[in-house]
Amino acid sequence: LQEGEVRIISLEQCQSYFDMKIITSRMLCAGYESGTVDSCMGDSGGPLVCEHTAGRWTLFGLTSWGSVCFSKVLGPGVYSNVSHFIEWIERQIY
């Protein structure tokens, strides 16, 4: 796992890359879409974080799957949308 700066893209844009899969609100998509970075094999479970003011970081997603790395069609990475699972996460912690 390495560090890379990616841009989150809309679910509609993301769906256009994955004809055989359904992109839902439980997912976030980020990477490529005009950039040069994306998650790849071996990154599964890795964090998608955003930095806020004063150096605070927030976890937005966990790397799940994506297009084949280095393929001709550079589709985005697909992440689990952590906000969708907050209640479940809190029940596990508390």
Q: Which domains does the chain have, with CATH numbers?
A: 8-93 (2.40.10.10)
Amino acid letter for position 78: V
How wide is the angle at C-alpha 4 spanned by C-alphas 16 and 64, nearest 5°? 50
What backbone torsions phi and psi does residue 47 show, to the nearest 5 degrees? -85, 150
2 in Cβ contact with 46 (< 8 Å) = no
Please give the model's pTM, rounded to 2 decimal places.
Answer: 0.84
43 in Cβ contact with 65 (< 8 Å) = no
What's the token pair of residue 94? Answer: 């508390």
Closest CA to 80 of 49, 51, 40, 45: 45
pLDDT in tens, the chain (94 residues): 678 888 899 999 999 988 888 999 999 999 876 666 677 777 788 999 999 888 899 999 999 988 766 555 678 889 999 999 999 999 999 8
